[in-house]
């Protein structure tokens, strides 16, 4: 595996979930793979879970880890070709990338969407240059449009909980496939679509019944939402849900490109509270974190026994380790 951006890069998801179980049971069993190998983690944006979990996963595999915060201690990087570099940017990404590749075996990149130019963001202009010019396998730690390590961790979490429920006669569901709902929720800032894009893509590839619900104007790009059921009535969408994944995203600009990156609604009726969860099938709440309490979700929901946000975060280590293991095996 030379790149990791999408569910398809990982191959059959059932095999990946089985591998995640094995890795979780024995996290340090594959250190020979990473011996004398170096992971370079490059951050154009802030991080907590992604940084800690990916570094921990690499260390589990016996790797050396270098972390570069591009905006703290490095030269400011120019990303556009054809410019006259007479401003505050001292180095061009096209020189920096191959240099970075000299010092590592795998590159992991985190670079958010700018939310001003849809074409630029959805072309994955920044990370695409790493794939083209680094000469190294590239792992996405969140890009302008996708966050596959998060989506894989989400899938692991759903699989674990569904397996647990099915193993107990008292909680065994009557239906075979879980109903998973991705619901938009309000936020005070314009956020990228990377998390919901990846979540939709991975749920479409998984053995679940998947529904997306959002207000008009927040339609995700068809290449991610795929054949999922789209429902504009949040209550109807949440009925009988087993898992509720709440997330804000700004306008993806699907229906009106000029609205890309804008906040079109702050409707608080979409905030997930106990009433919303009462419409579900005794469902479980999920969120990638960090979360704005009172906007996305109320305290009582996120602190309840049916909140999976901490297991989700813990599984970020596992998703990263499986991915890095696969890349190491391909070197």
Q: Say what the pLDDT of residue 75 is.
A: 82
Q: Say what the pLDDT of residue 327 is.
A: 98
Q: Is 288 helix (H, G, I), strand (E, B) or coil?
A: coil
What is the residue-averaged pLDDT of the chain? 96
Residue closest to 248 by CA, chosen among 279, 283, 306, 293: 293
pLDDT tens figures, 56-101: 999 999 999 999 999 887 888 888 888 999 988 889 989 999 999 9
Q: Map tokens 């790149």 to a residue.
A: 3
DSSP assignment string, 183-197:
EE---SS---SHHHH
Q: Is 297 helix (H, G, I), strand (E, B) or coil?
A: strand
- Does the domain made of 3-146+316-330 have the CATH classification 3.40.50.1370? yes
> How far is it, in rounded angstroms, from Cα 116 to Cα 123?
13
Q: What DSSP element (H or E) covers 148? A: helix 148-167
CA 157 to chain centre: 13
> How far is it, in rounded angstroms, from Cα 93 to Cα 286?
36
Instruction: Give mean pLDDT, residues 42-52.
Output: 95
245 contacts 214 by C-beta, under 8 angstroms: no
Length of the chain: 331
Instruction: Give mean pLDDT, residues 307-314.
Output: 98
Q: Say what the pLDDT of residue 77 is.
A: 84
Q: Say what the pLDDT of residue 148 is.
A: 98
CA 228 to chain centre: 18
> How far is it, in rounded angstroms, from Cα 131 to Cα 217?
33
Task: For residue 264, name the pLDDT band (cuts at 50, 70, 90).
Answer: very high
295 contacts 188 by C-beta, under 8 angstroms: yes
pLDDT tens figures, 139-197: 999 999 999 999 999 999 999 999 999 999 999 999 999 999 999 999 999 999 999 99
CA dist 257 to 14, 45, 55, 219, 260, Å? 37, 25, 37, 12, 5
Q: Say what the pLDDT of residue 72 is.
A: 85
Task: For residue 252, name the pLDDT band (cuts at 50, 70, 90).
Answer: very high
CA 275 to chain centre: 27
Per-domain boundaries in the chain: 3-146+316-330, 150-313
CA 262 to chain centre: 21
Phi, psi of 108 (to 5 degrees): -120, 135
> How far is it, in rounded angstroms, from Cα 42 to Cα 327?
17
Beta strands in 98-173 (DSSP E): 106-110, 138-140
Pairing of strands 284-286, 229-231: unpaired
Considering the domain delimited by 150-313, tell me its CATH architecture: 3-Layer(aba) Sandwich (3.40)
pLDDT tens figures, 194-212: 999 999 999 999 999 999 9
Q: Say what the pLDDT of residue 246 is.
A: 98
145 contacts 195 by C-beta, under 8 angstroms: no
**What percentage of the chain carries pLDDT values higher than 90?**
93
């Amino acid at each position: 595996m030379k790149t990791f951006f999408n569910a398809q890069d990982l191959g059959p998801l059932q095999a990946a979930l089985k591998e995640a179980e094995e890795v979780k049971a024995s996290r340090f069993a594959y250190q020979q793979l990473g011996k004398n190998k170096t992971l370079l983690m490059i951050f154009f944006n802030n991080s907590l879970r992604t940084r800690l979990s990916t570094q921990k996963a690499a260390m589990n595999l016996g790797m050396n880890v270098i972390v570069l915060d591009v905006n703290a201690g490095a030269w400011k990087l120019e990303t556009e070709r054809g410019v006259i570099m007479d401003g505050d940017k001292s180095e061009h990404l096209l020189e920096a990338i191959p240099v970075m590749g000299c010092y590592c075996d795998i590159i992991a990149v985190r670079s958010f969407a700018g939310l001003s130019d849809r074409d630029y963001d959805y072309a994955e202009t920044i990370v695409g240059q790493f794939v083209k010019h680094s000469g190294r396998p590239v792992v996405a730690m969140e890009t302008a449009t996708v966050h596959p390590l998060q989506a894989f961790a989400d899938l692991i979490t759903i699989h674990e909980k569904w397996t647990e429920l099915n193993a107990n006669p008292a909680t065994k569901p009557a239906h075979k496939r879980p109903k998973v709902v991705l619901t938009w929720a309000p936020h005070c800032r314009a956020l990228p679509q990377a998390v919901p894009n990846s979540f939709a893509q991975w749920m479409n590839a998984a053995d679940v019944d998947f529904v997306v619900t959002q207000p008009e104007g927040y339609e995700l790009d068809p290449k991610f939402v795929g054949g999922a059921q789209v429902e504009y009535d949040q209550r109807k969408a949440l009925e009988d849900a087993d898992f509720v994944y709440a997330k804000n995203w700004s306008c993806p600009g699907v229906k009106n490109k000029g609205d890309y990156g804008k906040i079109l609604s702050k409707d608080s009726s979409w905030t997930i509270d106990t009433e919303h969860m009462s419409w579900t099938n005794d469902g479980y709440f999920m969120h990638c974190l960090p979360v704005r309490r009172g906007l996305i979700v109320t305290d009582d929901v996120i602190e309840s026994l049916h909140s999976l946000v901490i297991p989700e975060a813990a599984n970020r280590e596992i998703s990263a380790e499986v991915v890095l293991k696969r890349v190491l095996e391909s070197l």
